[in-house]
Structure 1
Amino acid sequence: MRAFLLFLLLLALLALVWSRGWRPPDRYNPWAPLDLRAPPDLFFRYKLDRLGREPRACRAALAQAGARFTPLPDRDGPGACGWIDAVRLRGTGAAAIERPAIVSCPLAATLVLLDRQVLQPAARQLYGTAVRQADHVGSYACRNIYGRASAPLSRHARAAAIDLTGFVLADGHRLDIAGDWDARGRAGAFLHLVHNRACEVAGLVLGPDYNREHRSHFHVEAQGWGYCR
């Protein structure tokens, strides 16, 4: 009984301070908007998932982070393919995208986090420079997994995945996943570091060691809880 009364008292105190305008710092507030410029906090996956249901807030977060993008009208079909609340992404705020990619807004937000929290720190650590560009071989594609007729629909078919093939540094040095993944020295170390840390911000990352279909790229999705293979 005493514990219950103490619990009610605590709730009353919280309600009082909340009514007077007090709010916890954004890092400790699951209802605060996601700031893509800040390091991921305890609630960032929840906040990122919420962006999928709040397209205006998602686009505002991208703009706040300096991403270069154009909102796209929804596309329905063919079949179960298409997208909702997607953008044409040209840059993440620091790095350019090799060619504009059609991606869901949460995936665009994930790529901004990947650039800020993983790519740029790894490049500074190993090369003493920045990543200028991220290369890819596609985002939206209306197909099943691996293009097999009997397989489930690919996440690419909903603009919810992108296949990154490499990165270009500010000094022009190119890092290619297909050619440098097994390389000794800084190139291989950089790509492994990026892959290993990518799931700190991405929901799913499949790389060259996953299977032969991914030997040439990192398959990146926003949805998930940090699964890297």
Structure 2
Amino acid sequence: MQGIGTRRPVRRLMMRGLALAATAVALTACFGDYDGLRPTAGVDTQTRTASLFGGMFTRRTFSEPTTMPAEEVACRRRLKRLDVTFEDIPRIDDGGGCGIAWPVKVSGLPRGVKLSPEGTFTCAMAEALAKWTDDELVPAARLRYLSGVDTIRQGSSYSCRSIRGEGKLSAHATGDAIDIMDITLNSGRSIDVHKPGFFSFREKSLLSTVREDACPYFSTVLGPGYNRDHRNHFHFDMMKRSSGYRVCK
């Protein structure tokens, strides 16, 4: 009888150990891969394993994403506060200096303004575009037309190409530029950025104002009248120049 009494505590300990092990395995299966604070798109990964109970049970292998830089995380928080509709997409690397390390695809801007087609940018470029839309474009349209802005129609965002006639990469090649072709108001009126007619006073006023007011938001602002290549659109970009010089023409 004494021997039987000694075995029972040992058996209970073994059963508890097995129950704990089974619970650990179940939790690992449920939560092993999840990390809601880290990005998963377009990042390199490294693999690791962990063992439980001295190797009796082995945790399954999982990928741990490289952490997004703090400035990129902060930028995305600002986009959300600005009510920008965007999604993170995988890293773009087209070679020759073309690409975006942490790209975002934008389909909506502040105040319900749609971007059509959706554009691919760096987060910094998306933020500058959002602020210009919110602070300058929409108020200017309401002042002149008593209407908000429905859609910005863009002709180019990210594109691996060089500046025509210069050979060096365009700001489009790094996701730091946009070409704006047309602005459609909530009233249905469409305002073509192409130089308006002689008597189109309100259109001229709106386009001139929003173009001039874009200069503090971007490092380059070009449009109709600058040269033939920009005769039908605004070109805004965030090209970095060593001198900090801005081009606003």
User: RMSD of the alignment, in Å?
Assistant: 1.9
Does 2:96 align with 1:82? no
Match of 2:126 in 1: 108
1:126-173 CA distance string (max 9 Å, x none): 111111111111111111102x5x510111111111101110000110
Match of 1:228 in 2: 248
The letter of the residue matching 1:96 is K
TM-score normalised by length of structure 1: 0.72
Higher relative contact order (CA 8 A, sep 6+): 1
Normalized per residue, the structure richer in strand is 2
Q: Distance in 1 between matches of 2:189 and 2:246?
A: 29
How far the C-alpha of 1:226 sits from its partner, in A, is 5.0
Does 2:171 align with 1:151? no
Percent identity reads 32
Match of 2:38 in 1: none
Q: How does 1:59-78 map to 2 (within 5 A)?
A: 59-78=76-95
Instruction: Point out where structure 2 has 5 or more consecutive residues left out of the alignment.
Output: 1-68
Q: Distance in 2 between matches of 1:162 and 1:133?
A: 14
Q: Secondary structure at the residue paired with 1:107? A: helix
Q: Distance in 2 between matches of 1:53 and 1:134?
A: 30
Q: Is the 8 A contact 1:130 1:169 kept in 2?
A: yes
Q: Is the 8 A contact 2:92 2:103 kept in 1?
A: no
TM-score normalised by length of structure 2: 0.66
Name which of 133, 148, 166 aligns with 2:151: 133
The structure whose Rg is larger is 2
Instruction: Point out where structure 1 has 5 or more consecutive residues left out of the alignment.
Output: 1-51
Name which of 170, 186, 196 aligns with 2:212: 196
Match of 1:16 in 2: none
Q: Is the 8 A contact 1:181 1:208 kept in 2?
A: no
Q: Is the 8 A contact 2:218 2:237 kept in 1?
A: yes
